[in-house]
């Protein structure tokens, strides 16, 4: 645990206050207080390594007799920042590949020590920074251990493929009505208030999950436990590689404007390394959108113990027939990866159908 921000004994804290930053396998996470009260005992110290679930402090909560452990650390295992983690821009990584420069030997001069393209160019001039020729591929491949984030993703995805019998369904959705509505709506708005298609997709998913709740929840103790709340985990790629999945809570109760604000907030904070513990817990389903990278169809891997993942690709123009007429329409491929222990293909198909129908009436989202 690093940078323990709780000032001292006797201080008042309120629910939501950030009191510590914990280094985990995936990222630094801000830890919030879950109770309002007064600090009576400090249990953890800055720099200390703690097991998952260990309390950081005891609070005296108004109306309670004994101090309560109101500051739990987040669920991911706290670990120091892995020594092998390299922060570099995409351009720098590309350049390093082209020039044969080992990023582990490059000193970054960008913000927070990030390696920029000119750092790579400078390092390329020094023979020592270049990666050794791949004379012995096996030894060379093992030279750089995976980062903590990569290991965490590997563990979760390996477990998913080992334990979850996935089935996949996909459907093509005519987005002309949705995009037309969006363009008309955005014309009347200042740039700060404009919506992106992603907000409508999230709302469509939340709407469909209300009708097909079996896809929203967890598979635990050999049974499906649907969640009463719809908390959407949104996969966000990081500029330094890897991804995080922050949560938009109660998405079905949020308006499109609120969802757009939520999205901008969590994406910005994810990429700035300012997520809070409550941002990365409790998601009941995961949404991933790879359309920005030109991908048309996404076949995702479910994040256990969740039971479904929804993937969206790029909106592309395609020939489309409607009412006997052939035309060109913007088309989106939506994919569902679902746990066959929890649902069958029929329910999955109904989910995609409801999602498609919801997107045809964007004004009602």
Partner 1 sequence: MTEPAIRQAIEHSLRGIAPEADLQHVPPDANLREALDIDSFDFLNFLIGLHTRLGVEIPESDYGKLSTLSELIRYLLPKSG
Nearer to partner 1, 135 or 293 (CB): 293
Smallest distance from partner 1 to CB 92, Å: 7
| Helix H or strand E segment including 158 | helix 148-163
Nearer to partner 1, 117 or 177 (CB): 117
Separation between Cα atoms, residue 67 and residue 149, nearest integer Å: 35
Smallest distance from partner 1 to CB 88, Å: 7
Nearer to partner 1, 88 or 152 (CB): 88
- The alpha carbon torsion through 44, 47, 52, 58 (nearest 10 deg) reads 20
Smallest distance from partner 1 to CB 348, Å: 27
Nearer to partner 1, 51 or 111 (CB): 111
Nearer to partner 1, 38 or 186 (CB): 186
For residue 73, the number of C-alpha atoms closer than 13 Å in the C-beta half-sphere is: 28
Closest CA to 238 of 86, 125, 52, 121: 86
Smallest distance from partner 1 to CB 110, Å: 5
- Peptide bond before 305: cis, by omega within 30 degrees of 0? yes
Nearer to partner 1, 237 or 360 (CB): 237
Length of the chain in residues, anyone?
365
Smallest distance from partner 1 to CB 295, Å: 12
Separation between Cα atoms, residue 234 and residue 310, nearest integer Å: 10
Asked if 18 and 31 count as a contact pair (C-beta separation under 8 A), the reply is yes
Smallest distance from partner 1 to CB 174, Å: 20
Smallest distance from partner 1 to CB 85, Å: 15
Q: SS3 of 165, please?
A: coil
Question: Phi-psi bin for 76: left (phi > 0), alpha (psi -120 to 50), beta?
Answer: beta
Nearer to partner 1, 17 or 265 (CB): 265
Nearer to partner 1, 49 or 118 (CB): 118
Asked if 230 and 213 count as a contact pair (C-beta separation under 8 A), the reply is no
Contact residues for partner 1 (CB under 8 A)?
88-92, 110-112, 114-118, 183, 186-187, 191-192, 194, 196, 198, 237, 239, 263-264, 267-268, 271, 292
Separation between Cα atoms, residue 127 and residue 326, nearest integer Å: 61
104 contacts: CB under 8 Å, gap ≥ 6 = 84, 86, 144
Token digits for 346?
């029929």
Asked if 262 and 285 count as a contact pair (C-beta separation under 8 A), the reply is no
Smallest distance from partner 1 to CB 127, Å: 23
């Amino acid at each position: 645990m690093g940078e323990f921000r709780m000032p001292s004994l006797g201080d008042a804290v309120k629910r939501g206050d950030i009191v510590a930053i914990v280094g985990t396998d995936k990222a630094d996470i801000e830890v919030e207080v879950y109770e309002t009260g007064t600090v009576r005992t400090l249990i953890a110290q800055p720099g200390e390594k703690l097991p998952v679930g260990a309390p950081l402090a005891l609070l005296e909560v108004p109306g309670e007799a004994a101090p309560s452990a109101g500051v739990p650390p987040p669920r991911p295992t706290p670990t120091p920042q892995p020594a092998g983690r390299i922060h570099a821009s995409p351009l720098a990584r590309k350049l390093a590949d082209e020039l044969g420069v080992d990023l582990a030997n490059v000193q970054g001069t960008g913000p927070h020590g990030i390696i920029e393209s000119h750092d790579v160019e400078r390092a390329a001039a020094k023979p020592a920074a270049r990666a050794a020729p791949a004379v012995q591929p096996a030894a060379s491949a093992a030279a750089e251990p995976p980062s903590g984030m990569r290991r965490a993703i590997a563990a979760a995805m390996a477990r998913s493929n080992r334990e979850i019998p996935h089935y996949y369904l996909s459907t093509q959705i005519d987005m002309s009505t949705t995009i037309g509505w969006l363009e008309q709506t955005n014309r009347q708005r200042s740039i700060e208030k404009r919506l992106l298609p992603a907000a409508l997709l999230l709302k469509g998913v939340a709407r469909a999950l209300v009708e097909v709740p079996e896809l929203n929840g967890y598979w635990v103790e050999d049974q499906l436990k649907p969640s009463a709340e719809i908390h959407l985990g949104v996969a966000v790629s990081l500029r330094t590689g890897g991804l995080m999945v922050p949560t938009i809570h109660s998405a079905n109760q949020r308006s499109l404007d609120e969802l757009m604000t939520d999205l901008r907030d969590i994406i910005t904070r994810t990429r700035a390394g300012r997520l809070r513990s409550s941002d990365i817990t409790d998601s009941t389903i995961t949404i991933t959108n790879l359309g920005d990278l030109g991908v048309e169809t996404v076949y995702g891997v479910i994040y256990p113990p969740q039971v479904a993942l929804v993937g969206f690709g790029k909106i592309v123009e395609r020939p489309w027939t409607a009412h006997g007429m052939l035309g060109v329409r913007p088309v989106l491929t939506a994919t569902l990866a679902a746990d066959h222990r929890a649902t069958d293909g029929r329910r999955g198909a109904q989910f995609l159908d409801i999602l498609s129908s919801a997107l045809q009436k964007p004004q009602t989202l």
